[in-house]
Structure 1
Amino acid sequence: MSTIVRNLFRARGRTVPATPEPGAVLARATGVRVSRGGREVLTGIDLDARAGEILALVGPNGAGKSTLFGALAGDLPADRGTIRIAGRPATEWTTAELALRRSVLPQTAVVSFPFPVEEVVRMGRAPWAGTDREDDDDHAVAEALAATETSEFTGRPFSALSGGERARVALARVLAQRTSLLLLDEPTAALDLRHQELVLRVCRDRASAGDAVVVVLHDLSLAAAHADRVAVLHEGRIAADGPPAEVLRDELLTRVYRQPVEVFPHPRSGDPVVLPRRDS
């Protein structure tokens, strides 16, 4: 299967993208509106993802996070407005060209056949077949496995792993792809405390290396501790976008989540900690 995938990518001419400058906009939504099932889910979204930053998308269920995620990845067309990836409208890139510029981790990793873990991670290298970076395959795979602490799983079938182990292997595949734009949809949802921190440290490492990382999170305190910017979605719009300390405020979050919350600084780091307010 992976050989077939590699040959599909190899068959198309592609230009290997240059390394982006720090702060370069790698994904941009301008006036984006998306309707699904006859309902407008996103309403006039303007948002940038920049090289060297972690951008966290947060908001209640149904706010439009996953829809915006799909649009920023170029996988979901906008009804109005424009999504640009690496400076060009997403619709102007072929699938193979997009795969060299952005990698996507969906909420659920599905592999239909009992591939061994190493082969699943190696699938992330398929877009580079036939380019001068194909020689990096072995190193990229080994580095991704080590970063996600999944090296010990290499010979095991992906289907035999626990949910949390599958999530980390799926992330390793994305890391092995080595694109400058990473989009991760709820990468910590199936993970224990240790591995939540591991995944977000990996995100920080990638941003520090110059990548743009867009991550959908439900845990606001995790977003505050690890993101450079937080975009709060509310009813298909961006209610706030900026540094966590400026965006994660009691009043705004209480309104958006329809749940009284309190925000206070962490005693050591000073990062905002967000908790539901309990009066009893």
Structure 2
Amino acid sequence: MTSRLTAHALSISGRLTPCDLTFSAGSVTMLVGPNGAGKTSLLHALAGLPESCGKVLVDGDDIHALAPVRRVRHVAFLGASRDVRWPLSVRDFIALGLPDQSQPGHIEEVLDSLEAGELAGRRLDHLSTGERSRVMIARALVSRSSVLLLDEPIANLDPKWQLTILARLRSEADRGTAVILSIHDLDLARQHGDRVIVIDKGEIVADSTPSQALSEAVIAEIFGVSRSGGRWVRA
């Protein structure tokens, strides 16, 4: 599978300045920036949500013009909220993300890949926040979409599960998916991303390799911190 997402004149009034972006198959792109910088807005715009302007093409198809069934095969979106209290089993919740209901075996396959197989029969509204996060990621993965858009997928997770999820997203990229996620941990963004986009006040201020986009100068200017003695301190 190959995938390519191209966005032209992408914007959200008052929140995201117009920009042109291209994301290629097999890549992991990290979106970083201060709180309220525009990371979520960019993900919303790339997902083609109604508030956004511009054109988004996935493998040459305009996602705004696609029927829902075809759209889910192109783009899977995970929002930042984990406050889902539906009285459904985990298996039934994840099944809602299947583009083809004739392939239920994908549910167990995805859960096992996240070391969450034991959660399949439990109720979604009885899970901890961390467990619910993994289940919601599984729902995004089960669609096997060309593009994955994930808003803070490793928030509310302990270090073990953060690394597990990042490794799982890397395996998605390795099979040809374009993975785009927002993240607050600059070290993890540098270590696990192929590309980093830095956003501040609704504008893209850096877009390059992790080492270049997260240079000392950029980090100090945008985040107001610097490295000292192996830890982050206020700049």
Query: Kindly tell me: are residues 263 and 227 of structure 1, through their superposed partners in 2, closer, same or farther at Cα, counting changes over 3 Å?
Result: farther
1: CA distance between counterparts of 2:180 and 2:220? 24
After superposition, residues 249-268 of structure 1 pair within 5 angstroms as 249-257=215-223, 259-262=224-227
Matched residues, number: 235
Corresponding residue of 1:64: 38
What amino acid is the match of 1:254? A
- 2:63 and 2:39 mapped to 1: Cα distance? 19
CA displacement at 1:263 relative to structure 2: 8.5
Alignment of 1:53 with 2:31, yes or no, is no
Q: Is the 8 A contact 2:82 2:129 kept in 1?
A: no
Tell me the distance in 1 between the aligned counterparts of 2:124 and 2:58.
31
Contact kept? 2:196, 2:208, Cα under 8 Å = yes
* Partners of 1:234 and 1:246 in 2: CA distance: 16
Q: Residue in 1 aligned with 2:52?
A: 78
The superposition leaves residues 173-216 of structure 1 with CA deviations (integer Å, 9 ceiling, x where unpaired) of 11111112111110011100000000000010000111110111
Shift of 1:63: 1.1
User: Which structure 2 residue ranges, 5 or more long, are not aligned?
Assistant: none
Within the alignment, does 1:181 sit opposite 2:159 as a pair?
Answer: no
Could you tell me how far 1:110 is from its partner in structure 2? 4.6
Q: Distance in 1 between matches of 2:17 and 2:25?
A: 25
1:118 matched to which residue of 2?
Answer: 91
Q: Unaligned regions of 5+ residues in structure 1, if any? A: 1-18, 265-272
Q: 1:98 aligns with which of 67, 71, 82?
A: 71
Secondary structure at the residue paired with 2:133? helix
Bigger Rg, structure 1 or 2:
1
CA contact (8 A) 1:57 1:230 kept: yes
State percent identity of aligned pairs: 34
Give me the TM-score of the superposition, normalised by structure 1: 0.79
SS at match of 1:63: coil
In the alignment, which residue of structure 2 is the partner of 1:215?
A: 181
| 2:232 matched residue in structure 1 | 276
**Displacement after TM superposition at 1:47 (Å):** 1.6
In 2, Cα distance between equivalents of 1:42 and 1:263: 33
Aligned partner (choices 96, 104, 111) of residue 137 of structure 1: 104
* Contact 1:249–1:263 (Cα < 8 Å) also in 2: no
Cα distance in 2, alignment partners of residues 218 and 64 from structure 1: 13
1:120 Cα deviation after fit: 1.4
**Corresponding residue SS for 2:87:** coil
- Describe how 1:25-36 pairs up with structure 2 within 5 A: 25=4, 27-35=5-13
Once the two structures are TM-superposed, the CA of residue 112 in structure 1 deviates from its matched residue by 4.5
Q: Secondary structure at the match of 2:76?
A: strand
Give the letter aligned to residue 233 of structure 2.
R
In 2, distance between residues paired with 1:225 and 1:162? 28
SS of 1:128 mapped into structure 2: coil
Query: Does the aligned pair in 2 maintain the 1:250–1:263 contact within 8 Å?
Result: no
Q: Which amino acid aligns with 1:128?
A: D
Name 1:161's counterpart in structure 2.
127
Paired with 2:145 and 2:9, the residues of 1 have a C-alpha distance of: 26
Which structure has the higher relative contact order (CA within 8 Å, separation 6+)?
2
Of 118, 128, 148, which residue of structure 1 is paired with 2:100?
A: 128
Please point out which of 156, 159, 171 is paired with 1:193.
Answer: 159
Alpha-carbon deviations, 1:26-65, whole Å to 9, x = none? x222222211xxxx21112222221100011110111111
**2:67 partner letter:** T
